[in-house]
Amino acid sequence: MDVVHTAADLRARVSAWRRAGARIGFVPTMGNLHAGHLSLVELAREHAENVVASVFVNPTQFGPNEDFTSYPRTLDADRASLAAHGCNVLFAPSVDEMYPYGAAQTVRVEVPQIVETLEGALRPGHFSGVATVVTKLFNLVQPDVAVFGQKDYQQLLVVRRMTKDLCLPIEIVAAPIVREANGLAMSSRNQYLSSEERERAGVIYRTLCAMREQWNAGRPIAAIESDARAVLEAAGSIPDYATIRRAADLSVPDLSGRHGAIALIATRMGRARLIDNLLLAH
Ligand code: PAF
């Protein structure tokens, strides 16, 4: 596996593949890779002969009081894991390489509507930063297919909307959430949890499953949501939301039709803010 740090070196690799008519798969990450990320690489391999993964902790998607500086940076370990999972090229650019005019002065990509709720409402500017960096990465890698984890469900919708609206010829593939034995969704931020908190955080997935059961039983959404919040609080976490939305656009479901819904949770446990979701069958 080659490791490249500049746009010029990446372009040289990608052009050679394109000339050979080979498909390119792409997995963008912020590094500190775990089994969830590596499942994205494996899925990309199923769709393309060549796989590029990027490791870039993107400053424009962090708010002023968020963990940009302390975000775990583990490039050597990431390189070894990616090589072992069949990645062909690791792109690990510097901030200057990605933002030649400085992160604060970058041209930004703004995605409307879908960013106005949940994570977008709680983290102003976050999805603009994500859409901006993903557009830049797409332009550099020129993939045929890009793989995103379903754990960041709203991000997946933002990337899909952006890709379609900007007429980018890229297939966006969603990868299933990879979970620990107690149901906790894998995330780089899980390492902010003590081992006791990590065990307790299994409550998030159990709550999502309970929300699904109640939804299937026809219980009103408000009652499901308030029970879910109470369970999360009783387990010592502080929920930002525990909600049921339409999976297509995260709007509040119309009670006349209970199809295509998703349960989503964001909650704070110790130093970590954890998000998770579960598609509902009906
Ligand atoms: O999901 C992530 O790790 C990031 O938001 C992404 C897509 C790599 C953009 O920085």
- Of 152, 175, 198, which marks where a domain is finished? 175
Instruction: Dig out the tokens for 156 from the structure.
Output: 């997946």
Q: How far apart are CA 12 and CA 123, in angstroms?
A: 36
Give the mean pLDDT of 68-77: 96
**Do 135 and 39 belong together in one domain?**
yes
**Do 47 and 69 belong together in one domain?**
yes
- Residue from 68, 152, 154, 156 to probe ligand 1 pocket by mutation (most atoms less than 8 Å from CB): 152
Give the mean pLDDT of 187-194: 95
**Do 243 and 118 belong together in one domain?**
no
Find the 252 Cα to ligand 1 centroid distance in Å: 26
Residue 129: name the closest of 192, 66, 83 by CA. Answer: 66
Give the mean pLDDT of 222-239: 98
**Do 199 and 170 belong together in one domain?**
no
For the chain, how many structural domains are there in total? 2
Instruction: Dig out the tokens for 182 from the structure.
Output: 């107690």
**Do 170 and 232 belong together in one domain?**
no
Find the 181 Cα to ligand 1 centroid distance in Å: 25
| Percent residues over pLDDT 70 in the chain | 98
Per-residue model confidence (pLDDT) at position 282: 57
Residue 7: name the closest of 106, 97, 107, 79 by CA. Answer: 97
Task: State the closest ligand 1 atom to the C-alpha of 54, by its place in the atom list counted from 1.
Answer: 8
Ligand 1, atom 6: closest residue by C-alpha = 29
> Tokens 């997935």 sit at which residue?
205
**Do 196 and 170 belong together in one domain?**
no
**Do 141 and 21 belong together in one domain?**
yes
pTM, entire model: 0.97
Structural domain boundaries, residue 26 = 2-175
Ligand 1, atom 1: closest residue by C-alpha = 29
Task: State the closest ligand 1 atom to the C-alpha of 56, by its place in the atom list counted from 1.
Answer: 10
Q: Does the pLDDT value for residue 254 go beyond 80?
A: no
CATH number at residue 160: 3.40.50.620
264, 118 contact by CB (below 8 A): yes
Residue 118: name the closest of 280, 261, 240, 2 by CA. Answer: 240
**Do 109 and 198 belong together in one domain?**
no
- Look over the chain and give the mean of its residue pLDDT values, rounded to a whole number: 96
Catalytic residue of the set 37, 47, 85, 126 = 37
Per-residue model confidence (pLDDT) at position 139: 98
- Of 117, 151, 175, which marks where a domain is finished? 175
Using a 6 Å CB cutoff, which residues line ligand 1? 28-30, 58, 61, 130, 133-134, 152, 155
- Of 175, 207, 222, which marks where a domain is finished? 175
**Do 135 and 218 belong together in one domain?**
no
Sheet holding 272-279, edge to edge: 238-246, 261-269, 272-279
pLDDT in tens, 209-230: 999 999 999 999 999 999 999 9
Instruction: Dig out the tokens for 33 from the structure.
Output: 């890779």
**Do 95 and 232 belong together in one domain?**
no
* 37 is a catalytic site residue: yes
